[in-house]
Amino acid sequence: MRAPFNPWEMACQQLDLVAGKIDLDPGIHAKLRSCKRALIVSLPVQMDDGSIQVFEGYRVQHNLDRGPAKGGIRYHPDVTLDEVKAMAMWMTWKCAVVNIPYGGAKGGVICDPSDMSLKEVENLTRRLTSEISIIIGPEKDIPAPDVNTNPQVMSWIMDTYSMGVGYSAPGVVTGKPVEMGGSLGRHTATGRGAMLVLHEAMKRFKMEPAETRIAIQGFGKVGSSLAQYLDELGCPIVAVTDISGGLFNQKGIDIPALLEHTRAAPGGLIAGFAGGDFVEDVETANRQLLGLEVEVLAPCALENQITTENAHQVKARMVVEGANGPTTPEADEILQSNGVFVLPDILANAGGVTVSYFEWVQDLQSLFWDEDSIDRELTRIMTRGFHDVMEIAEREQCSMRLAAYMLAVNRVANAVRWRGVFP
């Protein structure tokens, strides 16, 4: 029987691989192989029927050597401490790849928000904020949205934290609504960033948008905005899946119409959209999607999606990882030996944290940028990130993932060396 997937082991395996390649000092390697802080909180929440339900939540800070910690908060029934630790470590590398001055963090609560009322989610969020407020703050650790959390959840975090300190502290979270210190462009930034690095790769390999067929797994914040930007670029999006099933249309899905449909549909789901063949069973739909004859496969849902069981079936020329950790290290080797060009998560989905960084800077300065400035700066940072990584991959004759890790781990290790070990 196969051992259950453990994202933390996977994250350590990825670090070990790069440590050997860059001859990382064993002491620094050991430091980076552990998380600086992990807070486990118990959250009693008053439910609508008057009962009290107790949820478990986590906030983990992996590394603070390059700046305050930064990372999203996930609400999902499958959240584990090891998953949160892995995502915190990936955040450290992500911020370092695109060279923004943060360390990595992540948070999560084991819950199923689709089974909870808005008021219950608010109660849960406020209690979580209160419990983790001892380690978060604008100069300490700045949460953001992740799976099943959104601008409303960020607003409750900001409000609860502000009540505690006695003044408005917009810089404590990013991904807020624009009306209360959010940044223009944040909601779609991860998808836009993924489109920008993919577009650079397409130019590099002389791929014309009209001939670049795309399949996207996940149609949430990341998947839907990536679809929107690639559609605007002229790429046919031929398949999309979400938890309600999969939509397939070889001629290209009408993305603006699908976006309109999901905006109105309960839970924002793609089910019920008429513009293509619909497969109701999610597993079947995902299997079909992963094996499609397309140029680009974009996993934008959850981790552990491309595994040794299905990596051989991937026919796409490129994989752009909108999600965190969608490809296991073993599957990665299979993709590499089959010549699939992988734009790794720590580069491909760094657009979100980049615009979160802009939001935080704007909040601290109380000076807000227009959308053109955001787009211009995001384009500059993502394009630079792509070319920095590509240059290492070509020089070292290695995958984009290994190159991105080499760049990131070296940057963090240098900061550790400069700072030294306290005391």
Q: Give me the active site residues, please.
A: 106
The smaller minimum CB distance to ligand NAD, of residues 269 and 416, is found at: 269
Min separation Cβ 280 and ligand NAD, Å: 12
Do the Cβ atoms of 189 and 371 come closer than 8 Å? no
The smaller minimum CB distance to ligand NAD, of residues 171 and 299, is found at: 299
The smaller minimum CB distance to ligand NAD, of residues 22 and 271, is found at: 271
State yes or no: residue 66 binds ligand NAD (CB under 6 A): no
Min separation Cβ 405 and ligand NAD, Å: 17
Size of the site for ligand NAD (CB under 6 A): 25
Binders of ligand NAD among residues 343 to 402 (CB under 6 A) are 349, 352
Q: Which residues contact 235 (CB under 8 A, 6 or more apart)?
A: 209, 210, 212, 213, 214, 296
The residue nearest ligand NAD at its CB is 220
Interface mask (CB under 6 A) for ligand NAD, residues 282-311, using x and -?
Answer: x---x-------------xxx---------
State yes or no: residue 121 binds ligand NAD (CB under 6 A): no
* Rg, Å, the chain Cα set: 20
Do the Cβ atoms of 243 and 269 come closer than 8 Å? yes
The residues pairing with 137 across neighbouring beta strands, listed in sequence order, are 141
CA distance 161 to 228: 34
SS3 122: helix
Interface mask (CB under 6 A) for ligand NAD, residues 145-184, using x and -?
Answer: xxxx------------------------------------
CA distance 409 to 163: 38
Name which position in 125, 324, 327, 354 contacts ligand NAD (CB under 6 A): 324
Number of other CB atoms surrounding residue 366 within 10 Å: 9
Do the Cβ atoms of 334 and 311 come closer than 8 Å? yes
> What DSSP character marks residue 113?
G
Task: Determine the Cα angle at 35 with ends 417 and 186, to 5°.
Answer: 95
Interface mask (CB under 6 A) for ligand NAD, residues 188-217, using x and -?
Answer: --x--------------------------x
Interface residue list for ligand NAD (CB under 6 A): 145-148, 190, 217-223, 241-243, 282, 286, 300-302, 322-324, 349, 352
